[in-house]
Structure 1
Amino acid sequence: MTNSEQPSIKTSLIELKNRTSGPRILFKCEYEQPSGSFKLRGMGHLVHTAIEEAKKLGKDKVEVFSSSGGNAGLAAAYAAKYYGVNCTVVLPVISKPVVIEKLKGLGATVIVEGKHWGEADNHIRNDIIANLDNSIYPVYAHPFDDPLIWEGHANFIDELIIEKQLSSEDLNHVKGIVCSVGGGGLYNGVIEGLKRNKELNDVPVLTVETHQAPTFKVSLDANEVVHLKEIKTLSTSLASPYISGKSLENYKSHKTHHVVIDDLDAAQGCIDFYDEFGVLVEPACGASVALAFKKSDLLENFGALTKDDIVIIVACGGSGTNVDTLNEYRKLVVAN
């Protein structure tokens, strides 16, 4: 599939300069996506695939339905607008007003229902999609738990090779990939991408989440998917109530290290990334980019790394931070 058929775009690979020790650190800049995050890759692929299936069935009235009050919802709305189909997003009451305005700006119908994402999701599936008339072909856009989502996310791994963002020599020096994990969609996409590119098949992955949103760790400890009853975190895009079952499978089948840092470390990651590149990202992204700065000791999970070795960090983006928010993070970090 060509990029012109997808709402997502090719993104940059940039290097953190002036490092005096440790490996080379490269950032895959998914914050460049038009919707603000990597989520557009998966959502674009899901919506495109659904439209093609609808055509085969003779259905011409496709509508997209999402329950995410964050980046997945924005990606679903952007993809729907790109393909000229309607989109409905149900958000919990805790959703940020700025997200609601952005969704409306993308032409989405916004409904506020439920105390948290789970209740919003139940409403869109059981009260809206279940009661649609047969003329509508519904596309349920789950935020992270769908193979089509993972296939779409995997495209950024393909780009490293197809677009020659890494030379053949660089490919030999890649020792690890770092990504944040909430519901596991991005992680599953990374594994999918590594599997389908033989040059990177055996590269280990390091997943990062916060103590305040320990979805993956709790499930790893239990060796099964655990649903958390409550999550209070600055890293709201990591605040999934559960991890996808596929993520547990991937953890067992592909060499993966997992670390848990504090919300304040994630906030510090946002600050350091902005100070270095002038780019705003939210704490869900700050959690992974923090490993390039003050939490770089965690890269030791990949073993002894030389100055020629390469670690790629997925700068996944996010639309939940502005300059005022960043200044609040600065105050929080200083106070603690």
Structure 2
Amino acid sequence: MYPSISSTFTEVTKRLGTNFRVFFKNELEQPSGSFKLRGLGYLIGQSLAKAKVMKKEGVQVFSSSGGNAGLAAAYAAQFYKVPCTVVLPIVSKQVVITKLESLGAKVIVEGRHWGEADAFLRETLISKLPESIYPVYCHPFDDPIIWDGHAKFIDEVVESFSKEDLSHLKAVICSVGGGGLYNGVVEGLDRNGLKEVPVVAVETIQAPTFTEAVKAGKQVHLETVKTIATSLASPYISEKSLENYYNHKTILKTIDDIDAIQGTIDYYDKFHKLIEPACGAAIATVSKRLDLLSDLQLKEDDIVVVVVCGGSAVSEEVIQEYRKML
């Protein structure tokens, strides 16, 4: 038994008014607020099972995150009744810290961005733990078990579609930061015999980790990452993501932070639910930035699936701040 749930899968074509069919996979419905619970919950469950076989005691969960991976780790740790420590960068919002503490997690704020928070967790915190503590380290995105967990929502999409609808599936659209979600989408498509279905991966110009890696032909570490879409603010993309880019048709798009914010507001206005700009980046492709999908040459019966990945670092007040920015 794992803490994630099967999220709803809905057609939203009429609400958006597109000339092709749009379906949302609503991962914001996960108990932690985002898709991250899929992979992190699976990783923690597997790790605890392994620790039990090894007869380890003093098991504790450790996570570094801009917010959503930490929330997923904290929720899963509470679900399995083990302690959890989360290290957040200084750009993290108070709403995330409050939610983490409400889940019983110990919160430490350290580093300018996720990369520095993660380095502190691994090199300063975990490395100096007493032998009485058995650490379960949860990387936010770079672990095959996490990708396997994320891929399960593609299994659910395939189960929900008829064979006729599947034949019209032209793309899965997702936001990309460190590449965990993207890797999960690719794995899910490939294992369901849908290798020919492209992935539209959307990142912000302010956090171009994937774009820079593709340009260089190798993993690139950015010195600074300053984006309003803080959940996309990874200083690097996973090496597996670069491998997937070359082996699975991927349409990589970059948009401005403002477009991601617009996507967040569009989703709030049309569906009355809260998501982060990191998720708004994907929503923007089917709301205000349809030009990003021009490569697909979509027709009336064609279908795209958008991963509504969610995000908890947002509130009604934050939405109003975003409106003022626009």
Question: In structure 1, which of residues 4, 9, 15 is the aligned counterpart of residue 11 of structure 2?
Answer: 15
Structure 2 counterparts to residues 171-186 of structure 1, below 5 A:
171-186=166-181
Work out the CA distance in 2 between the residues paired with 1:65 and 1:298. Answer: 38
Which deviations, in whole Å up to 9, do the C-alpha atoms of 1:14-72 show, x marking residues without a partner?
A: 11232555210111100000100000000001000101111111113321101113100
Question: In structure 2, which of residues 108, 129, 141 is the aligned counterpart of residue 111 of structure 1?
Answer: 108
Question: In structure 2, which of residues 208, 221, 230 is the aligned counterpart of residue 227 of structure 1?
Answer: 221
Higher mean C-alpha displacement, 37-46 vs 116-125: 116-125
Structure 2 counterparts to residues 143-292 of structure 1, below 5 A:
143-161=140-158, 164-198=159-193, 200-292=194-286
| Contact map agreement 1:94 1:115 (CA 8 A) in 2 | yes
| Contact map agreement 2:66 2:231 (CA 8 A) in 1 | no
Q: Number of aligned residue pairs: give it.
A: 325
Structure 1 unaligned spans of 5+: none
2:160 partner SS:
coil
Could you tell me how far 1:321 is from its partner in structure 2? 1.3
Number of the residue aligned with 1:324: 317
Work out the CA distance in 1 between the residues paired with 2:11 and 2:319. Answer: 23
Structure 2 counterparts to residues 77-88 of structure 1, below 5 A:
77-88=74-85
Structure 2 unaligned spans of 5+: none
Number of the residue aligned with 1:25: 22
Q: Aligned pair 1:90/2:87, yes or no? A: yes
Work out the CA distance in 1 between the residues paired with 2:180 and 2:174. Answer: 11
Could you tell me how far 1:195 is from its partner in structure 2? 1.3
Number of the residue aligned with 1:42: 39
Work out the CA distance in 2 between the residues paired with 1:115 and 1:177. Answer: 32
Could you tell me how far 1:296 is from its partner in structure 2? 1.3
Work out the CA distance in 2 between the residues paired with 1:92 and 1:330. Answer: 25
Could you tell me how far 1:81 is from its partner in structure 2? 0.5
User: What RMSD in Å do the two structures reach over aligned CA positions?
Assistant: 1.3
1:241 partner SS:
coil
> What TM-score do the two structures reach when normalised by structure 2?
0.97
Q: Aligned pair 1:314/2:307, yes or no? A: yes
Which one-letter code corresponds to 1:141 in the other structure?
Answer: C
1:319 partner SS:
coil
Q: Aligned pair 1:100/2:97, yes or no? A: yes
Could you tell me how far 1:93 is from its partner in structure 2? 2.6
| Contact map agreement 1:67 1:120 (CA 8 A) in 2 | yes
Q: Residues 17 and 55 (structure 1 numbering): CA distance in 2 closer, same or farther, change over 3 Å? A: same
Could you tell me how far 1:169 is from its partner in structure 2? 1.2
Number of the residue aligned with 2:291: 297
Q: Aligned pair 1:123/2:120, yes or no? A: yes
Which deviations, in whole Å up to 9, do the C-alpha atoms of 1:110-168 show, x marking residues without a partner?
A: 1222333222212211222112233322111011111111111001001113xx32112
Work out the CA distance in 2 between the residues paired with 1:20 and 1:282. Answer: 23
Could you tell me how far 1:201 is from its partner in structure 2? 2.7
> What TM-score do the two structures reach when normalised by structure 1?
0.94
Could you tell me how far 1:95 is from its partner in structure 2? 2.1
1:9 partner SS:
coil
| Contact map agreement 1:59 1:135 (CA 8 A) in 2 | no
1:201 partner SS:
coil
Work out the CA distance in 1 between the residues paired with 2:20 and 2:66. Answer: 37
